[in-house]
């Protein structure tokens, strides 16, 4: 396939674009600077500028655009940036597709597990309702923007969970502490995190490109885990203790209440029903396998 990617420079995008190329696909990346090679195209999503011809002849568009959710405190300005960095690129891509006589057949546009808000112990399948909070609203509007693509385009919105990586990602700050024996669960640790390893995210997108699946897709491993179990598995794989729990009030004080509550303390017991029914095979379906891979 010929695939046009937005947001290919981040942790997930770098891994995914390499996986696409390894699978034999032709990948063109959209960049916000001057193009440095033939497989790059410049665009300005903040201004809504993209030459529709950049998408002409493409079989699929993959959209991973968005600034980091937990990179900075959630000031009003930062929250506006979180919305804008997702909605503006998505709408720009959809608008460019609408200007083509033959738009790409598939549009896979990232969303997140935050769509469901804090759902406690409720099992969340793709038909579960939209939750409340900033992340839930971002994800809802993000998905709505993707569906502005023209009729006939298969739109897929993967609700990606906590991505486990050997560096960076959701464990980027916690993993070094665990390696030193100075890490531990966050809050009471009973909140569910819908985890998935970085290689399985790329594999799932590849699977979705070749499938007929459309609409929301819960992108997580089939084995559920709360934070206590996740941290314990990582510590065991690294042969380190993980007894230094970080209380919720400390997280709220250090990170700010909204960010701590929604990013670290919220519970999403997500089940990847669509992927299971479609026959997707995970490389790391269990927490033990994931922890061993992360430990390297």
Give the pLDDT mean for 79-103. Answer: 97
Cα–Cα distance list, 180 to 175, 227, 243, 294 (Å): 9, 19, 12, 15
Q: How confident is the model at residue 141 (pLDDT cuts 50, 70, 90)?
A: very high
CATH number, position 42:
3.40.50.720
Domain of 209? 2-295
Beta strands 195-197; 154-160: pairing state: unpaired
Specify burial of residue 180 (Cβ count, 10 A radius: 0-12, 13-18, 19+). Answer: exposed
Report pTM: 0.95
User: Per 3-state DSSP, what percentage of the chain is helix, strand, and coil (rounded to 5)?
Assistant: 40, 20, 40
Counted domains in the chain: 1
Percentage of the chain with pLDDT > 90?
Answer: 82
Extract the runs of DSSP E, i.e. beta strands, from the chain: 2-6, 26-31, 40-42, 60-63, 106-109, 111-112, 123-124, 154-160, 162-164, 195-197, 215-219, 269-270
Q: Is the pLDDT of residue 168 over 80?
A: no
* Model pLDDT for residues 229-266, shown as the tens digit of each residue: 999 999 999 999 888 888 999 888 888 889 899 999 99
């Amino acid at each position: 396939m010929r695939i046009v990617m937005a947001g290919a420079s981040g942790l997930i995008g770098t891994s995914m674009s390499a996986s696409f190329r390894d699978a034999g696909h032709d990948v063109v990346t959209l960049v916000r600077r001057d193009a440095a090679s033939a497989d790059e195209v410049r665009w300005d999503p903040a201004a809504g500028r993209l030459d529709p011809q950049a998408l002409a002849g493409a079989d699929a568009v993959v959209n991973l655009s968005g600034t980091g959710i937990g990179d900075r405190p959630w000031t009003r300005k930062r929250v506006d940036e979180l919305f804008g960095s997702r909605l503006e690129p998505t709408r720009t891509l959809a608008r460019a597709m609408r200007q083509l006589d033959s738009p790409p057949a598939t549009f896979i546009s990232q969303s997140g597990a935050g769509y469901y808000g804090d759902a406690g112990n409720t099992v969340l399948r793709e038909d579960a309702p939209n939750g409340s909070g900033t992340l839930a609203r971002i994800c809802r509007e993000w998905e709505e923007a993707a569906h502005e693509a023209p009729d006939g385009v298969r739109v897929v919105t993967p609700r990606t969970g906590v991505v486990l990586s050997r560096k960076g990602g959701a464990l980027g700050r916690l993993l070094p502490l665990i390696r030193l024996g100075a890490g531990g669960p966050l809050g009471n640790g009973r909140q569910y995190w819908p985890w998935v390893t970085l290689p399985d995210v790329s594999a799932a997108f590849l699977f979705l490109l070749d499938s007929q699946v459309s609409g929301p897709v819960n992108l997580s491993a089939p084995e559920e885990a709360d934070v206590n179990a996740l941290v314990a598995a990582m510590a065991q794989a690294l042969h380190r203790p993980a007894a230094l729990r970080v209380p919720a009030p400390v997280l709220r004080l250090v990170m700010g209440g909204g960010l701590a509550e929604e990013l670290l303390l919220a519970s999403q017991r997500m089940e990847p029903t669509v992927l299971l029914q479609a026959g997707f095979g995970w490389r790391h379906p269990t927490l033990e396998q994931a922890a061993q891979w992360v430990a390297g």
